Amino acid sequence: MTTATKPAGTAKAASAKDPGLQIGRDQLLRFYRQMVAIRLFEERVNDLYTRALMPGLAHLYIGEEAIAVGVCEALRNDDYITSTHRGHGHCLAKGADPQLMFAELLGKEVGYCKGKGGSMHIADPGTGNLGANAIVGGSSGIAVGAAFSAKYQKNGRVAVCFFGEGALGQGLVYESMNLAQLWKLPVIFVCENNGYNEYTHFSESTAGDVVKRAEAVGIATETVDGQNVRDVYTVAKKFIERARALDGPAFLQCITYRYHGHHVGDIARAYYRPKAEEQEWVTQKDPVALHGEWLMANGVATRAELDEVLNGLTTDMDAAMEFGINASYPDPNKVDQDIYA
């Protein structure tokens, strides 16, 4: 693992007001384990691409792990999520099997969508994951529909819609938020603001204040540090409990950063993103490293214990990747089966 093995800076013990102190040890350790798993998975996805073993492209979630983990840890297994083109982290955090994910990325029959969805269309209904979506903002209507279903059936479920700040240029997002607020639907809109709409800084494409767009229709909003998994979890839990009580939707903006390019082929980024900016985020604001530091500073875990987590997950993730590589391709005669169009 490239950036989580050597935490940046010097850890400081939490203050009495730190929300992390209200979270149990097992869950705090699970945060770390889940973030490390996502990081290791994505590093292997990049490896598969560079070795020309993976068809198509993938959009790596490295640097944003605290958001998926913080939010999904506050959800029940039967709660819903909808995802984006940068969706591997959401899928894993909600409980997906890395073996089946690698198989899907590699176009293999045992993959979640029988090898026909690929990186940007993985769905896992068994864990409440209604699917990633290559259309920017495209899953917002699906999330609101799921929330409407939950309210109608009175099953207590909540839906979370993950999207990037670039989706704020899509009308469907506003239509979805409007209906969600009108009908007090149990849905949380999670905006992962990593600063860039592909190759353009969001300030050049998004006018005004991000959260005020949701506030305009009366939705409760909050902005958190997307690199702090404990803060993300604390606010997400509050909003999810509120939604479950049918007190209305919420909009959570998480400030974050993608450490790699827009997709795996976006290598030379200097023409649109300063190298110094990248280095500051990678070396000083790594969510995995920062949480590891916090765990050690507050006596939750030792370096040896965190290394054990890393080593165990490294072995597991290598095995999962090999499973995907060695799995069989689907029968070509089934190319028109299990698809919508």
Residues 22-80: tens digit of each pLDDT: 999 999 999 999 999 999 999 999 999 999 999 888 999 999 999 999 999 999 999 99
18, 300 Cβ separation under 8 angstroms: no
89, 96 Cβ separation under 8 angstroms: no
pLDDT tens per residue across span 225-264? 999 999 999 999 999 999 999 999 999 999 999 998 888 8
Taking all residues of the chain, what is their mean pLDDT, rounded to a whole number? 92
List 161's β-bridge partners, or say none. 82, 189
| Residue 109, token pair as written in the block | 């029959």
**Res 267 pLDDT > 60:** yes
Q: How many CA atoms lie within 13 A of 91 on its CB side?
A: 33
**Res 13 pLDDT > 80:** no
Rounded-to-integer distance, Cα 159 and Cα 146, Å: 6
- The length of the chain in residues reads 341
